[in-house]
Structure 1
Amino acid sequence: MSSRRGRGENGRRPSRATVIVALVLALIVVGSAVAVAYLTPLMSVRNVDVVGAKVVDETEILRVAQAPTGTPLLQVDTGAIASRIAVLPAIEEVTVEREYPSTLAIDVTERVPVAIVDQDGKVAVMDRLGVTYQSFPDRKSLPSTFAGLPTLVTDHPGPKDPTTTAVLKVAQALPQWLHDRTASIEASSPVDITLVLDSERRAVWGDSSQNDEKAESLRQILRLKGDEFNVSSPDYPAVK
């Protein structure tokens, strides 16, 4: 026996009027639910959760966020809250989302300090993207958090400078033992990078590729006497 879809028990299709009435009723239900969510305190902000804050004080994030507790979630301008938080220097990225029934979730990504640079007579902290976001009068004023960072020395340090980008890539790839011994990283171009070690010996690095191999090659030859160690071709290191 064959069956027919879209017909009632009597085999007739629903009338056009019936369909329209059903759609109208559905819209009323949806509209009512939206109105309840938008106009009543049933789903208002009662909790504000901050995720990702390690260095930045969570209290400071909440202070600048100015989250409107008691306001229905649908009325909250999440973009405005995110913009206020993004002003904090140590925040790289922030997202603010509604989590029903009553929570605002703030997810922050903090800047990763990679190097320090001399800038306008001060010492500035540069993040992994090449952005300077904190400055201090001199090196003695640097907090211990930043004191161990290498100094970046390039002609035009900044996020749009290819040489800066290459140096930061190298700085982040250094193993801890070498990072701790690197006083500064100098570069005149993306392929002319040199590490200046705390012993004032120099390690010619070349470009920002094969960083693991170069670090291992340097570790092997640092035991030799010399002032300059060239590991730009890690398979064929040279000492002067």
Structure 2
Amino acid sequence: MVGAGPVRPPVATVRVDGTRQIPVRDVEAATGDQTGVPLAAVDTDGVAARVSAIPGVAAVEVDRSWPDTLVVVVTERTPAALLDTPDGPKLVDVTGFVYRDAPPDVRLPRLQLPRVAPDDPATLAAVGVLQALPVPVRDQVQTLSLGGGGSTFELGLTEGRRVLWGPWSDTDRTAARARVLGPVLQREGAVYDVSSPSLVTVRQR
């Protein structure tokens, strides 16, 4: 008599964790119909690849939770800025990746750079500047653009104020500039020059 083979419980549930902005139904659809497939036989790499293709997904882990649950853990991209395109404003994440349409109510600084991409040094410097700013200061930033023939950054703030950031390639000074900008914005002025953090200047126009 031939003995029975090992029991291979089928998938009964697909559990999605980690989503905030991405609809769970989009992740479930990307996993494919796994219901009834033996849990041990699920192609977890294939599921992860399909879910990773969803705009807004930064990373995916697919695990088996015995006896019958497939667990999909999603890490979403963190928006850092906006980029105006012919198709409308897009979100840019903290790595400089442009990934999906921006919701109409989102309020983020707009990058005004010749090129925005994860392999572009100016893009990486720009998102680094925005991430370094204290939240109350970042909330006042409307635009980040190039100045000085393309070698410096300029921040456009609310109420028409401007910040002269200095050379964008000088990333060693990013933290120091971000630190001094908050206090100096308490002073009345129109142009704030923090290119030299130890010698900040404020002009009225």
Q: What range is the shorter-chain TM-score in?
A: 0.7 to 0.9
| Rg (Cα) greater in structure | 1
Alignment of 1:37-76 (within 5 A): 40-41=7-8, 43-76=9-42
Which of 143, 161, 180 lines up with 2:139 in the alignment? 180
Q: In the TM superposition, what whole-angstrom CA distance separates every residue of 1:72-119 from its partner, at most 9, and x where no partner exists?
A: 122111122112212211111112122332221111111111111122
1:112 aligns with 2:71: no
Distance 1:237 1:90 in 2: 38
Instruction: Look up the match of 1:200.
Output: 160
For the Cα contact (< 8 Å) 1:166–1:190, is it kept in 2? no
Identical-residue share of aligned pairs (%): 31
Which ranges in structure 2 are unaligned for 5 or more consecutive residues? none
Q: Pick from 100, 120, 125: which aligns with 1:134?
A: 100
Preserved CA contact (<8 Å) 2:129 2:178: no
**Does residue 143 in structure 1 map to residue 104 in structure 2?**
yes
**Which structure carries more strand by proportion?**
2
Deviates more, 1:194-203 or 1:215-224: 215-224
Using the alignment, how far apart are the partners of 1:62 and 1:213 within structure 2?
Answer: 45
Contact 2:133-2:179 within 8 A present in 1 as well: no
Q: Take 1:109 and 1:236, find their aligned partners in 2: how far apart are those partners?
A: 41
Runs of 4+ aligned residues of structure 1 deviating over 3 Å after TM superposition are 188-191, 207-213, 223-226
SS in 1 for 2:182: helix
Render the CA deviation track for 1:102-155: whole Å, top value 9, x for unaligned: 22111111111111112235221111111111236xxxxx422x2x10000111
1:106–1:67 distance in 2 versus 1, CA, 3 Å? farther
Change (3 A) 1:121 1:74: closer
1:221 aligns with 2:184: yes
Aligned length: 197
Question: For residue 112 of structure 2, what is the aligned residue in structure 1?
Answer: 153
- Partner residue in 2 for 1:234: 197
Stretches of structure 1 that go unaligned for 5 or more consecutive residues are 1-31, 137-141
Cα deviation for residue 183 of structure 1 reads 0.6
SS at match of 1:134: strand
